[in-house]
Structure 1
């Protein structure tokens, strides 16, 4: 910008700058409050910030999506609990929660048999039309609903699995102790999706709130498919952590290898 040059700010730019100022103001308030504390109503924040309720609502909605605030229908908006950092690793939900010193609990929702379509049959290593057992579990950490898990396995390979999981709440424990099967590796896909009415009701959040949808395809060390799982996690309560490393640099053609003693 040249000396003396006049910069003209568009109305859109002014609104964006005002919105960011309002968001910063709310973030400062959050930093002074404990998790679970309520923040002022949107109309009161609009007065304090000398702006419209529309601008305040936009800032609050974004902070809810980021997991810093949580809305409760008919109650108000509150400072969210800190997110749990959940590492990406081959481990059962209960097993991992306990290893982190967290209190884990599972609610067994349902179990039903279904016929495998071509895609599910391929994932589970069975013929199309084969019998699949679908188990739905609601996972809790420290008494807060955290994840809704839908597990698909071959019904023929694991007879009696539903009753055993309903008793223990731990799928991997049952697979290991009852069937001698251990999951060695898995491929996970993570997507974002808005909460549908049923998921929102079970996980105690609003319809349309951001969710993390994790699909996991697990295998034994020998490569045998074990499960295909779809899990809904509350986006305001979870963050996933992966430990990654840079692969070794490839050796280029013609490169000389020194033999130093």
Structure 2
């Protein structure tokens, strides 16, 4: 069975990537098409797929560059702050409000419909680069959360030290998603950029639902890691 034309060129471009340091600009579409004796359309499709996979990165007006390898792992039973240990990170609070729980949210948090829930939306960054949007929903009002969170950085650490809530179990549902226009703008990527979407339900030390979170992580910067033992 013969390989599609674009895939043959993709493999050739991967060879170039393997011999080149991250941050190096690769030849233009025209140069690659001439080198490999194929059309620019074929090269463009191969490059587009490598960009989606995080092997190449496009910079508007500058060119296409070899991307840094995926170094950030999203693990089970850890927070973003723990996953990013060793990196220079910060968070921007996009919204902190008290809302009434709708049907799905009430079911996830095991609270009555219309009860008070605190919703915290944050943009997570590394070296100023947007990486993820997380929206955490917590059952209850949580007075003073923004101040306490600012002092610690980690939501799980804040819940444990200030509110006596120790996250002891979590269940993650992970799927792929494409960035909607507003999320793409916040993350600094194109609309339709591949994302990892994580829905997490977490429970405290007493087995009570303590968080329901929806996270959108850039697919070119993260991979999800799960370790299983029997």
Same fold at TM > 0.5: yes
Q: Partner of 2:166: helix, strand, or coil?
A: coil
The structure that is strand-richer by fraction is 2
Give the match for residue 88 of structure 1: 75
Q: Partner of 1:139: helix, strand, or coil?
A: strand
Q: Distance in 2 between matches of 1:74 and 1:154?
A: 47
Equivalent position to 2:159, from 172, 175, 179: 175
Q: Distance in 2 between matches of 1:235 and 1:116?
A: 30
Does the CA contact (< 8 Å) of 1:107 and 1:169 recur in 2? no
**What's the offset of the Cα at 1:142?**
4.1
Does the CA contact (< 8 Å) of 2:72 and 2:84 recur in 1? no
Q: Partner of 1:136: helix, strand, or coil?
A: strand
Gaps of 5+ in 2: none
Give the match for residue 41 of structure 1: 28
Please show how residues 93-108 of structure 1 align to structure 2 within 5 Å. 93-98=80-85, 101-108=86-93
Does the CA contact (< 8 Å) of 2:58 and 2:64 recur in 1? yes
Q: Partner of 1:94: helix, strand, or coil?
A: helix
Q: Distance in 1 between matches of 2:174 and 2:117?
A: 23
Number of residue pairs matched?
Answer: 230
TM superposition score normalised by structure 1: 0.82
Give the match for residue 132 of structure 1: 117
Does the CA contact (< 8 Å) of 2:165 and 2:205 recur in 1? no
**What's the offset of the Cα at 1:34?**
1.5
> Which string of whole-angstrom CA distances, capped at 9 and with x for unpartnered residues, describes residues 228-255 of structure 1?
011111111111111123x4xxxxxxxx
Q: Distance in 2 between matches of 1:225 and 1:74?
A: 48
Q: Assess, with a 3 A threshold, how the Cα gap between structure 1 residues 20 and 122 changes in structure 2: closer, same or farther.
A: closer
Give the match for residue 152 of structure 1: 137
Equivalent position to 2:171, from 172, 187, 190: 187
**Are residue 214 (structure 1) and residue 201 (structure 2) matched?**
no
Q: Partner of 1:177: helix, strand, or coil?
A: helix
Q: Distance in 2 between matches of 1:223 and 1:69?
A: 44
Does the CA contact (< 8 Å) of 2:76 and 2:225 recur in 1? no
**What's the offset of the Cα at 1:17?**
4.1
Q: Partner of 2:117: helix, strand, or coil?
A: strand
Larger Cα-atom Rg? 1
Of 181-190 and 41-50, the range deviating more from structure 2: 41-50
What value does the CA root-mean-square deviation take over the aligned residues? 1.8
Q: Distance in 2 between matches of 1:31 and 1:96?
A: 27
TM superposition score normalised by structure 2: 0.92
Q: Distance in 2 between matches of 1:223 and 1:67?
A: 38
Equivalent position to 2:227, from 229, 243, 258: 243
